[in-house]
Chains A and B, each alone.
Chain A
Amino acid sequence: MKVQWIGFLTLMRKEVVRVFRIWPQTLLPSVMTTTLYFVIFGNFMGAKMGQLEGFKYIDFIIPGLIMMAVITTSYSNVSATFFSAKFQRNIDELLVSPMKNHTILLGHLSGGIIRGCLVGILVMAVSLFFTDIHVHNFSLIIITMFMTSLLFSLGGFLNGLYANKFDDISIIPTFILTPLTYLGGVFYSVNLLPDFWRTISLFNPILYIVNIFRFSVLGISDISIITASLYMFVTVVVLWAICLTLLNRGFGIRS
């Protein structure tokens, strides 16, 4: 037990040290991009758009933009660090050690969660320069941010396990994650869509996450919060089980 705990703390410390050592690469880009969204969509365009679901447009998009930053950051952090460890073979440092696979998994996820939440908090802080943030349910904000970064850290880990070359860790964020995020109700309410597109949107997992977070901040949601929370919880459990099973089989890391 002691070995597992110290091993986990070591992996977590290693990740935190990395995040702060190269902070212009790990913390700034998402903050920069989201700030541009605030300026362009929130201030310049949003000022002419009136209200959406009873809120100023900038207030409406802020929760989604925070989640977008958390999602992309936690995903890319874990996929990049895990694949890089695989590529340089320093993953062997962990595989030869007495650390159990769930400790190795948790250690890697901790990096994604910490970086994801840090970026989320930074983006939230920056948003205060553009508007006054409403807080509907503070505990739900914390839980959603944590669960979202956990969920997408698991996704990033899975991507890292399957990846054989660096291209493989950029394909999913570029061609799947980003389109799903943009179409996940960050900039609009799915209630504004025609029925057909609204039904299609319900298959987008990011829609649920954005809506839970929007509910925790503004108190409004396009879909049932209980359904969305259940969906998120079940996805985390399933992804955790898949990642751990693949690790136990040595998929992509042992001969």
Chain B
Amino acid sequence: MKNSAITIKHLKKIYAGGFQALKNISLDVPKGAFFGLLGPNGAGKSTIIGILCSLINKTAGSVEIYGHDIDKDWSEAKKNLGIVPQEFNFNIFEPCLQIITNQAGYYGVPYPVAKQRAEHLLKELGLWDKRYTPSGKLSGGMKRRLMIARALVHQPKILILDEPTAGVDISLRRSMWTFLEKQNKNGLTIILTTHYLEEAEQLCETIAIIDKGIIIENMNKVDLLKKMKCETFILTTEADCIGLPQIDNASLIKNNDGDIEVVVNDALSITKLISDLEKQNIIVKRIQNKSSRLEELFVRMVES
């Protein structure tokens, strides 16, 4: 399709041992999208990514990247991809600058241009001071940023991030989000797999959920969240309440911290819930989601 960055049709993968990782998957990632690919461990996310970047051979089906078939026109297809893998895979003795310029060279970028781009990216990602440091001596967060710089140096149209913020502290994670959002606004299509569903909820506009090798959901994030029939909140009350009232379309329990955990059906508004509690002399001081909305929906979908 003309507006597709990636088109996957009837993709199957059976590994040598007979394990079927992907069962006839079809997926379309629009150009310019920030696309989330979510699923539990072993669901098939990394297999899809592996096939896209040709590290894994598919068993059946077809994949097109910016209109280029990965079997017939793989060289052109690959030029459009930048990959940030899950595991660090640098030569630990190579300095950062060399890693980036080499990667550019593998994509046909001449050395002087590669050096300029590497300087720009390393500066933007806060790694310029470490340009001569061997990658093995970098901290975990620096290695993550170096992987992003390496994936972007040949200026791909699609960036695939396989759990890019695993093991990264919260402030660095947020700065990486800002960087990625900026890249996306500049037209880069981003495919993100992550275990931090808060991350997917914050960044992605389209989300596909995969489980046991099958896509169980694939839609706009807003529409996906509308599918939530109920949501869980934690209410902190002014005074410790002894008994819990019965409220229609809600079920209340007291958690170990003395707060009230309430599962609210979508037929009941939060305003109505709070006013009903007030009528029972329970004054709500604070209210918060138990987990991110996407996380709650994800757990329900995968468990069902």
Contact = CB atoms under 8 A, between A and B. Distances in A.
Asked if A pairs with B, the answer is yes
Interface string B46-66: 000010011111000000000
B83 interface: yes
Given A6-B108, A17-B98, A98 B55 contact: no
A2 B81 CA distance: 18
Interface in A97-129: 97-100
Given A84-B91, A88-B92, A255-B56, A7 B108 contact: yes
A17 B90 CA distance: 16
Given A95-B54, A96-B81, A100-B75, A10 B105 contact: yes
Given A96-B78, A98-B76, A255 B55 contact: yes
Given A14-B98, A96-B53, A98-B76, A7 B106 contact: yes
Contacts of B196: none
Interface in A8-44: 9-11, 13-14, 17
B110 interface: yes
A85 B103 CA distance: 14
B87 interface: yes
Given A84-B91, A89-B89, A99 B55 contact: no
A97 B91 contact: no
B277 to A, nearest CB: 55
A2 B105 CA distance: 10
Interface residues of B, number: 34
A14 B102 contact: yes
Contacts of B85: 89, 92
B300 to A, nearest CB: 32
A252 to B, nearest CB: 13
B233 interface: no
A48 interface: no
Nearest to A255: B56
A9 B83 CA distance: 22
Contacts of A84: 91
Contacts of B177: none
B57 A255 contact: yes
Interface string A242-255: 00000000100011
Given A88-B92, A95-B55, A255 B108 contact: no
A94 interface: yes
Contacts of B15: 255
B202 to A, nearest CB: 27
A93 interface: yes
Nearest to B151: A96
Given A14-B98, A88-B90, A93 B103 contact: yes
B37 to A, nearest CB: 18
B166 interface: no
A199 interface: no
A96 B158 CA distance: 13
Contacts of A7: 105-108
Interface of B: 15-16, 50, 53-57, 74-76, 78-79, 81, 83, 85, 87, 89-92, 98, 101-111, 150
20 contacts: A2-B108, A6-B108, A6-B110, A7-B106, A10-B111, A13-B105, A85-B91, A88-B91, A89-B89, A90-B89, A93-B103, A94-B106, A95-B53, A96-B81, A96-B83, A97-B78, A98-B79, A98-B107, A254-B55, A255-B15
Given A3-B108, A9-B105, 5 more contacts: A6-B105, A14-B102, A17-B98, A92-B89, A100-B75
User: Nearest 4 A-B pairs (CB), nearest first?
Assistant: A10-B105, A3-B108, A97-B106, A89-B89
